[in-house]
Amino acid sequence: MKQNSSFALKGNVCFSTDKNTLVSREHAYVVCENGKCAGVFSSLPEKFQGIPVRDAGDSLIVPGFADLHLHAPQYSFRGMGMDLELLDWLNSVTFPEESKYSDQEYARKAYSIFAEDLKKSETTRACIFGTLHVEATDILMELLEKTGLKTFVGKVNMDRNGPDTLQEKSAEISAADTIRWLDSCTGKYQNVKPILTPRFIPSCSDELMKKLAEIQKHYKLPVQSHLSENPGEVSWVQELCPESSFYGDAYRQFDLFGGKDCPTIMAHCVYCPEEEIQLMKEQGVYVAHCPQSNTNLSSGIAPVKLYLEQGIHTGLGTDIAGGHSLSMLRAVSDSIQVSKLHWRYIDSNRKPLTFEEAFYIGTMGGGEFFGKTGSFLEGYEFDAVILDDTYFPHPQPLTVRERLERLTYLSDARCVTGKYVSGTEIF
Amino acid sequence: MKQNSSFALKGNVCFSTDKNTLVSREHAYVVCENGKCAGVFSSLPEKFQGIPVRDAGDSLIVPGFADLHLHAPQYSFRGMGMDLELLDWLNSVTFPEESKYSDQEYARKAYSIFAEDLKKSETTRACIFGTLHVEATDILMELLEKTGLKTFVGKVNMDRNGPDTLQEKSAEISAADTIRWLDSCTGKYQNVKPILTPRFIPSCSDELMKKLAEIQKHYKLPVQSHLSENPGEVSWVQELCPESSFYGDAYRQFDLFGGKDCPTIMAHCVYCPEEEIQLMKEQGVYVAHCPQSNTNLSSGIAPVKLYLEQGIHTGLGTDIAGGHSLSMLRAVSDSIQVSKLHWRYIDSNRKPLTFEEAFYIGTMGGGEFFGKTGSFLEGYEFDAVILDDTYFPHPQPLTVRERLERLTYLSDARCVTGKYVSGTEIF
């Protein structure tokens, strides 16, 4: 990893400026100045003459992608045990695997594979669930720190409805472990920051949620959790929290559902009633749309077009391992695909996502959670990904826009050939 | 390409024996004798001692996949122009590209890319649409012949509702060109055979269909076309053929809808009414299920579980370029994914496809169209694919079955490292 105060990348540059606008510039320069984007130019302006230039040839250069939701410990079983619905899948596949992370040696082995693959992917920023284990979560943070990616990592809280092998013995223990973890990691890392991570309402007692709310305020933490993913889960939450008007209201009652001092990501949001959507909007809650996971776990299709129309913050998540692919380009194409089935079968009043919209939510939409990231507009963090599409020869001339759409559908691990985060070269 | 009368592959062998049974054998031998599978063994039986063995190490060995539906000329624009529905997509993306194949030089350039990629894929057998051009179709057949794959290729018939640049001027010209094509290619190739290919009812006049039925009988040809893909298309067929009771009935009236002497593949079958399904069953029509294309073109989700329950011949198609991926492993995972959404939103009485069922339709189900292919049962054609999954490290031990499921979701072009068709080594 090298950092220069000013440098440029040269190639075919594509980036969103808003949800409907995708800019494509052939053989252009994206300039980085002190970690920030200083603009995209057809030729280097006078003031940047002489800065180092990495020439990406005919490759594409796009902003880094923000993966708003994934579970690091589940990376080991991605693409397996796919014949189950959410709650059965948690009990029979997920919880047994996560239990293994009490073993620090296993955690290091598994998380090393995950961190290495995330580093090589098109993701530059991510919000990541660990497990309930303090030591394993610290190992994960240490490994992620070395990748140079900017991430939020959460030690998971869960004190009810789990198996004996994967449950904190009481709200007190869960809270105490969380404080121990926060005290050990706060300020320790440059790239990795802690995020409060109540697994989801069914896993957290009221008492625990109250304690977590205090911790959130004390440490000024962002929050990540799950919301309205599956009909069975939604009904269960209603039983567990009879006082709540809807699932999101159960988080809100504990002051863990967005607002100025509590930036919050809620994953899935497939079955949000109208009031929940309104509350998400008011509280500035981020939706982490996880199309692949919602399909794999037979959950359904989230109404993302509606969220965009309503101005709700929306990003994409791979949701490893409900989702099987770590690729955010795949998440972009998946989001388009499921939106077409949503239009066909569920809401014919809302057209499918356009390519522009899907690319936007994968970059700028989710990127906003991290500040000004996910675009090459001036002043944005210089997060960039170089994509090589020479594996896909074609007989006819293609525009840069066509090549980007094609790569979004066809790309594989070979295509990501360079990456920068806040101006730092990752590879 | 080398052919030995007897040899074996050694590795982790997986294959279907019926739609509910997937056999997995660690470090086993699959024996080929005169192009046919002679069985799968834990150690080589006495009679095969001394035959050459290709040791695939820890790789997986699976039967070849049958791609029952794809359009070779559309390979050039896969993954592009994805924001349209079927009929608009045909007019604005597909037909203009297919028009270019009047130029033999362009056809050779484009089809060379396609043939090379198909060769490297996990497909061993395929049913392929060309364009209406006789010369270009012959170039396609010549290039495919060299790959060693066993394919059916069709010169497309279309004499109505196309653009000026892509339409045969009359039924007579279309029929005469078809006969010219058939006379030039019949018996010319060892691996490639012709298949009669009326594009779909909206593209073929009644007069043309009558002539094609005569040609089918004279040349004893199999038939491939499209059926009940999109609601707009289905309504249009009803207008065009007011005498028909349903879409399939329009083919049946011209005697081009299955039966003993007319093996027929119908692609899509998303919106088949009950009577159409019954007729498909009676006539032994093959359904080419194209889950990716049906999603990309916002067509919908075909009721594949129902087709399997009804005992209808069912295989998978990539449907390039409604589908963007040439990978049949991707088609298998896509078929599982969409079946989950079908269960969730359309027919809760029919569970999603199991992995076993999806793998079966991708191999044996579609393979049956080509004879005894798609399994390692004794007497089946020796079509085999070697799959390397070392790109996906994992911290825990995995069974062969787990590795196959994972590869089905995660594989990319790097994973296919060997292929055999009827005992001939392709690479």
Q: What is the pLDDT of residues B285-305, one digit of tens each?
A: 999 999 999 999 999 999 999
CA distance B160 to A261: 64
Which residue stretches of chain A have pLDDT < 50?
1-3
C-alpha distances (whole Å) from B426 to each of A242, A360, B124, B147, B404 are 63, 42, 9, 7, 22
Distance between CA atoms of B319 and B325, rounded to whole angstroms?
A: 9
Contact B383, B15 (CB under 8 A): no
The answer to whether A396 contacts B324, with C-beta atoms less than 8 Å apart, is no
Question: Are B368 and B312 contacting, i.e. CB atoms less than 8 angstroms apart?
Answer: no
Query: In B148-243, which residue ranges form alpha helices assigned H by DSSP?
Result: 171-185, 206-219, 231-240
Average pLDDT, chain B: 97
The residue in chain A having the minimum alpha-carbon distance to the alpha carbon of residue B406 is: A79
CB neighbours (10 Å) of residue A42? 10
User: Residue B412 is nearest to which of A80, A295, A412, comparing CB atoms?
Assistant: A412
Residues forming a β-bridge with A125: A66, A150
What residue type is assigned to position B423 of the chain? Answer: G
Q: What pLDDT is attached to residue A417?
A: 98
Yes or no: say if B41 and B31 are a contact pair by the CB < 8 Å rule.
yes
Q: How far apart are CA A248 and CA A300, in angstroms?
A: 18
Helix (H) / strand (E) element for A65: namely strand A65-71
Q: What pLDDT sits at residue B1?
A: 46
Q: Does B110 touch chain A (CB under 8 A)?
A: yes
Q: Residues B342-394: pLDDT tens digits? A: 999 999 999 999 999 999 999 999 999 999 999 999 999 999 999 999 999 99
Please enumerate in sequence order all residues whose Cβ is within 8 A of that of A22, keeping only pairs 6 or more positions apart, or say none.
A14, A15, A16, A355, A356, A359, A360, A401, A404
Chain B residues inside the 8 Å CB shell of A301 = 341, 345
Distance from CA of A373 to the nearest CA of B (A): 27
- In Å, how far is A140's CA from the nearest CA of chain B? 14
Query: Residue A92 is which amino acid?
Result: S
Residues of chain B with Cβ-Cβ distance to A78 below 8 Å are 406, 409-410
> Which token pair is B348?
């809760």
Percent of chain B with pLDDT over 70: 99
Contacts of B402 in chain A (CB under 8 A): 80
Share of chain B above pLDDT 90, in %: 96
- Rounded to an integer, the average pLDDT of B174-199 is 97
Q: Which candidate from B296, B340, B406 shows the least CB-CB separation from A337?
A: B296
* Cβ under 8 Å to A: B residues 169-188: none
CB-CB neighbours of B165 under 10 Å:
11
Helices vs. strands in chain B: H and E counts, helices first = 15, 17
Q: What is the rounded average pLDDT of the residues B95-121?
A: 98
Determine the distance in angstroms separating the CA of A171 from the nearest CA of chain B, rounded to an integer: 31
Closest CA–CA distance from residue B324 to any residue of chain A (Å): 7
Q: Does A346 touch chain B (CB under 8 A)?
A: yes
Pairing of strands A150-154, B192-194: unpaired
Could you give the angle at which helices B206-219 and B171-185 cross, rounded to 10 degrees? 20
Domain A6-63+375-425: give its CATH superfamily.
Answer: Urease, subunit C, domain 1 (2.30.40.10)
Do you find a cis peptide bond into A321, omega within 30 degrees of 0? yes
CA distance A301 to A115: 29
Q: How many CB pairs under 8 A join A and B?
A: 134
Tokens of A346: 């569920």
Q: Which B residues, 42 through 101, put their C-beta within 8 Å of a C-beta on chain A?
A: 76-83, 97, 100
Considering only CA atoms, give the Rg of chain B.
21
Q: Which of residues 113-142 of A touch B (CB under 8 A)?
A: 113
B397 touches chain A (CB under 8 A): no
d(CA A324, CA A318): 8
CA nearest to A325 within chain B: B410
Fold of A65-370: TIM Barrel (3.20.20)
Rounded Cα distance between A363 and A386, Å, is: 14
Point out the residue among A345, A355, A402 whose CB comes nearest to the CB of B345: A345
User: Among the residues of B100-170, which ranges form H helices?
Assistant: 104-120, 134-147
Cα distance from B77 to chain A (closest Cα, Å)? 8
Complex ipTM: 0.97
Residues from chain B contacting residue A234 (CB–CB below 8 Å)? none
A343 close to B (CB below 8 A): yes
Q: Is A1 on the interface with B (CB under 8 A)?
A: no
Q: Which one-letter amino acid corresponds to residue A219?
A: Y
Q: How far is CA A258 from CA A270, A285, A286, A369, in A?
A: 18, 5, 8, 12
B393 part of contact set with chain A, CB < 8 Å:
yes
CB contacts under 8 A, A 187-206 vs B, are none
Residue spans per domain, chain A: 6-63+375-425, 65-370
Q: Coil, strand, or helix at residue A399?
A: coil
With beta carbons under 8 A apart, name residues in chain A contacting B300: 341, 344-345
CA distance B166 to chain A (A): 18
A121: which DSSP letter?
S
Given an 8 Å threshold on Cβ–Cβ distance, is A406 in contact with B345? no
What pLDDT does residue A43 have? 97
How many residues are recorded in chain B? 427
pLDDT at residue A86, as a whole number: 87
B410 vs A324, A393, A394: nearest CB: A324
User: How far is it, in rounded angstroms, from Cα B386 to Cα B411?
Assistant: 12
Give the nearest partner residue to A295 out of B337, B391, B398, using CB atoms.
B337
- In three-state secondary structure terms, B345 is helix
What is the arithmetic mean of pLDDT over B182-202? 96
Encoded tokens for A94:
């997920």
Q: Which two tokens stand for residue B236?
A: 């249009």
| Distance from C-alpha of A328 to C-alpha of A315, rounded to nearest angstrom | 11
Rg (alpha carbons) of chain A, rounded to whole number: 21
* Bridge partners for A264 per DSSP: A223
* Domain B6-63+378-425, CATH homologous superfamily name and number: Urease, subunit C, domain 1 (2.30.40.10)
- Please tell me if residue B412 touches chain A, with a CB cutoff of 8 Å: yes
Instruction: Kindly state whether A14 is in contact with chain B, defined as any CB-CB distance less than 8 angstroms.
Output: no
CA distance A427 to A120: 8
Q: Distance, in angstroms, between A260 CA and closest chain B CA?
A: 36
Length of chain A: 427
Select from B231, B228, B270, B276 the least CA-distant residue to B249.
B276
Closest CA relative to residue A394, chosen from B144, B412, B106 = B106
Q: Which of residues 219-248 of A touch B (CB under 8 A)?
A: none
At A289-316, the pLDDT tens digits run: 999 999 999 999 999 999 999 999 999 9
B267 vs A285: CA distance, rounded Å: 43
Closest residue to B79, CB basis, from A344, A410, A412: A410
Closest residue in A to B327 (Cα) is A410
User: Closest to B298 (Cβ–Cβ): which among A110, A340, A409?
Assistant: A340
Quote the pLDDT of residue A4.
Answer: 55
Cβ atoms within 10 A of the Cβ of A219, count? 14
Q: How many CA atoms lie within 13 A of B381 on its CB side?
A: 25
In this structure, are strands B53-63 and B6-18 parallel, antiparallel, or unpaired?
parallel
Q: Do B340 and A296 touch (CB under 8 A)?
A: yes
Would you state the pLDDT for residue B49? 95
Spatial contact of B379 and A50, defined as CB atoms under 8 Å apart: no
CB pair distance less than 8 Å for A295 and B340 = yes
Q: How far is A246 from chain B (nearest CA, A)?
A: 22
Spell out which residues of chain A touch residue B81, defining contact as CB-CB under 8 Å. Answer: 405
Residue A389 token pair: 């599409």
Strand (E) or helix (H) holding A387? strand A384-387
pLDDT exceeds 60 at position B4? no
Chain B contact for A340 (CB, 8 A cutoff): yes
Q: Could you tell me the two tokens for B92?
A: 């604005």
Determine the 3-state secondary structure of A322 from DSSP: coil
Directed axis angle between helix A328-345 and helix B328-345, to 10°? 40
Q: How many CB atoms lie within 10 A of CB A379?
A: 11
